Chain A
Amino acid sequence: MHLEYFAVVSCALLLLSFPIVFSAMYKKLDAAERYMQYSTFIVGCRHTFRHSHFEGRPQRVFAMATVILIPGIIQRRGMVLVEDVEQIPRHLKYWMVIPTLVTCLSLIGITITGFLIEN
């Protein structure tokens, strides 16, 4: 019974993640990326995904969230500065991180459900 709830919630989260990601990528991404113009991680991702669907904006939202969530680790490779990340306003951070986490959680849920059903 618990697995059923878990699976339904995971699938619902996945469906919910699409409008949230789209809002973030068209309403807030450009503003957030302006704070990261000296990050090789963000500049590199933007360049690499520039010809993907939607100009690579979904990927760029996820890249921004990665930088916001684990700045210390990325700084070790010299791809971002923690102090640059700290300058991003809180509401923009939420706009980048929440869609990414919702997507990740839903995918984790779906992966677990998928494996459990297969077994």
Chain B
Amino acid sequence: MQGPYAFINDRSQPYPLLKQRLSLNPHVQTKFDILNQHIRNTVVLPGQLVIIGDSRTASCTVEEARLMSSAQNIKHALLAHSATDQFLIKNYDQLQKIMTYASIGVGSATSAWSKHLEEIEKTLQEIDGLHKQYLSKGTVAARGEFVVKRSTLFSRLESQLHGMARFGSGLKNEGSIKKMLGISSKSYWHHGEIRGYEETVKRVAKASQVLKKGTYIGIALDVGATALEITEACSTGREQACTQAKYVEGGKLVIGVGGASAGGTLGAVGGIGACAIVFGIPTAGAGALACAIIGGAAGGFALGKLGSNAGEWVGKVLYQAVED
């Protein structure tokens, strides 16, 4: 292999083990250590870039220097957002899609991605057509043909849905990041693609962190606000106000968070269902995800707000009942 190459580490492993797995020539090994100073003598975390030097020369080339700089940036982005766990890797495609809808990842969706989604939608439309055809005939003979065609279309759909993970990475490669990360050190990347990876990692690492923590931060803030309200009421010295605050603020928190959670879940399914039934949008693909996000966000927001109101009121009712 001529020229420098790089690949992404797929799992947490000690640097010596990684080096051993690569089975490098003895004279390349010293250069490998120099090029990979960002991971040297550490546990190499998933997502980090590993550089294989140009075997033709012992000195560092400009391209290798560029790769080293990219590797440093990637390491920094991953560590800065604590995104080196499996969450980023497992959810890469989903995060990428969400970012696309949220306009954060503008330009990251490739034409291959759109084309792939179109193909899935086409298969779903064919299944739709097959159903209509069968339902209009409804004969026993038609049923046999229908069952065969249906299972063929579903096996195609299954392979396409599996394939969905292969696209959406925003990079001009043939495999998904999951796949690339999964196929170990045997896979090498040309440096042109590394720049894309570097940019994407920065964005995705940040987004994954926000998304992963978002729900918990929301709940933690609600709990914190409730605790503050109760503490404030109790610190004023009136026992009655303190007890009332416990009921009212407690009810507001429990029903608010519970309502938002249930509302968001139902809203997401409702969003997909409504889009599919009313507009005929396929239940898997870009349109469905957009509907799920809109439905989930609307349901969660509305029920969270109304739930807080209802919970507050129920808290008051319960307090009065207990006091009486």
Contact = CB atoms under 8 A, between A and B. Distances in A.
Given A14-B259, A48-B283, A106-B262, A73 B317 contact: no
A110 B282 contact: no
Contacts, number: 140
Interface in B116-168: 124, 127-132, 135, 150-151, 154, 157, 161, 164
A106 B258 CA distance: 11
B223 interface: no
Contact of B276 (A47, A59, A79, A104): A79
Contacts of B157: 40, 43
Contact of B130 (A8, A17, A78, A110): A78
Contacts of B311: 11
A84 to B, nearest CB: 10
Nearest to B315: A11
B317 A118 contact: no
B53 interface: no
B127 A40 contact: yes
Nearest to A81: B131
Interface in B258-309: 258-259, 262-263, 265-266, 268-269, 272-273, 276-277, 280, 282-285, 288-289, 292, 302-303, 305-309
The dominant DSSP class at the B interface is helix
Given A11-B255, A48-B292, A59-B265, A75 B131 contact: yes
Given A4-B317, A11-B251, A77 B272 contact: no
A118 B59 CA distance: 73
The dominant DSSP class at the A interface is helix
Nearest to A103: B262
B238 to A, nearest CB: 25
Interface in B78-96: 90-91, 94
B310 A104 contact: no
Contacts of B310: 7, 10-11, 109-110, 113-114, 117
B254 interface: yes
A2 interface: no
Given A44-B283, A114-B310, A107 B154 contact: no
Which of B94, B151, B269 has the most CB atoms of chain A within a 10 A radius of its CB?
B269
Question: What band does the interface of chain B fall in when counting residues whose beta carbon is under 8 Å from A?
Answer: 35 or more
B322 to A, nearest CB: 13
Contacts of A41: 273, 276, 283
Which of A50, A113, A118 has the most CB atoms of chain B within a 10 A radius of its CB?
A113
B18 to A, nearest CB: 28
A10 B307 CA distance: 10
A117 B309 contact: yes
Interface string B247-260: 00001001100110
Given A77-B128, A78-B130, A111 B262 contact: no
B16 to A, nearest CB: 34
A67 to B, nearest CB: 9
Interface in A1-59: 4, 7-8, 10-11, 14-15, 17-18, 37-38, 40-41, 43-45, 47-53, 58-59
5 contacts: A38-B150, A41-B273, A47-B161, A107-B266, A110-B307
Interface of B: 90-91, 94, 124, 127-132, 135, 150-151, 154, 157, 161, 164, 215, 251, 254-255, 258-259, 262-263, 265-266, 268-269, 272-273, 276-277, 280, 282-285, 288-289, 292, 302-303, 305-314, 317-318
Q: Which 8 A-B pairs have the closest CB atoms?
A: A44-B283, A114-B306, A78-B131, A78-B128, A44-B284, A113-B310, A51-B94, A114-B309
